[in-house]
Chains A and B, each alone.
Chain A
C-alpha cells in the first residue's frame, strides 16, 4: 500500500529555519517525483514544485523559487521541504504528493498527484 507520512505540525518564529519531511512507503521511491503543494488558511491549492526522488532534480514554481528548497534522502525514502528564514506569510498547510505515471512502449506519461500525505501545518508567528 502506497503511503506518504508527513512530519508533525510546527510552530516557528519569523526568521527561523525549518525542514519538514515526507516519508514514502509501498512503492519504488526513487522512480517517482514528489510534489509539494501549499494551502494557505481557508484558501486553495498552490503548486510549489517537484523533486525527483532518484537524483534530487528539482523544479520550482517561480512563486517559491529562492524561498524554499527541496531535497531527498533515498536511504530512508524521504523527501524534505525546507526554509532558511520563515515569514509569517508561510503559515499554511503543506502537502507532499506522489506524481504518478504510466509508460507505454518506453514513453512515460504523468497521471497527476495520485497519492497525498496528510499535510504538515506550519505556523509562523512572533
Chain B
C-alpha cells in the first residue's frame, strides 16, 4: 500500500498569515495515463470532508484562490496564502493512483 505522510500534524496560524502542509507518498503517484491522482480534502469541525484540490494543483469549482496545490512524484504541498477563520479543520491528502486508495493521517489547522 502507498503510505501518505503529512507534516506537520498540527498547525496554529494567525489570520491573514500563510500556511503550508506537506504530504509525501511512499511511491510515485504518477499514473500510467500521465495524470497524478493526488488530492487535498478539508474536514471542517463537525462536517463531512470536502474536496479542495484534485490532480495535485487543480482547485475544485468554488474553492477560494488562496488555496493552491503543487508537487509531483512523491512530494506534494498545499498552501493557503492568507488563512481565514473558516479554514480551520483537518486537512487530508489522498491518492487514488494505486489500489488501495490511501489518505494521509491529517493535519489539524487552528487559528491563533
Task: Tell me whether B49 and A113 are in contact (CB under 8 A).
Answer: yes
A66 interface contact, C-beta 8 A: no
> Which residues of B (18-60) have their CB < 8 Å from a CB of A?
33, 35, 37, 39, 41, 43, 48-51, 54-55, 58, 60
Q: How many residues of B contact A (CB 8 A)?
A: 27
Could you tell me which residues of chain B, from 65 to 112, have a CB within 8 Å of some CB in chain A? 90, 92, 94, 96, 99-106
Query: Which of B55, B99, B104, B106 has most chain A Cβ within 10 Å?
Result: B99
Q: Which residue of B lies closest to A113 (CB)?
A: B51
Query: Is B106's CB under 8 angstroms from A45's CB?
Result: yes
Partner of A62, one of B35, B50, B100: B100
Most buried by B among A46, A107, A111, A112: A112
Q: Measured between alpha carbons, how far is A24 from B81 in the docked complex, in Å?
A: 35
A40: shortest Cβ distance to chain B, in Å? 12
- Cα distance, A18 to B39, chains bound together (Å): 31
Q: Indicate if the CB atoms of A111 and B103 lie closer than 8 Å.
A: no
Q: How far is the CA of A112 from the CA of B38 in the complex (A)?
A: 8
B residues near A, CB below 8 A? 1, 33, 35, 37, 39, 41, 43, 48-51, 54-55, 58, 60, 90, 92, 94, 96, 99-106
Which 6 pairs between the two chains have the least Cβ-Cβ distance?
A: A116-B48, A112-B39, A111-B54, A61-B100, A47-B101, A44-B106
Write the residues of chain A forming the contact surface with B, with a CB cutoff of 8 angstroms: 37, 44-47, 59, 61-63, 95, 97, 100, 107, 109-114, 116-119
Contacts A/B (CB < 8 Å), 13 sampled: A44-B103, A44-B104, A44-B105, A47-B102, A62-B1, A63-B100, A95-B48, A95-B49, A110-B37, A111-B60, A112-B39, A113-B51, A119-B48
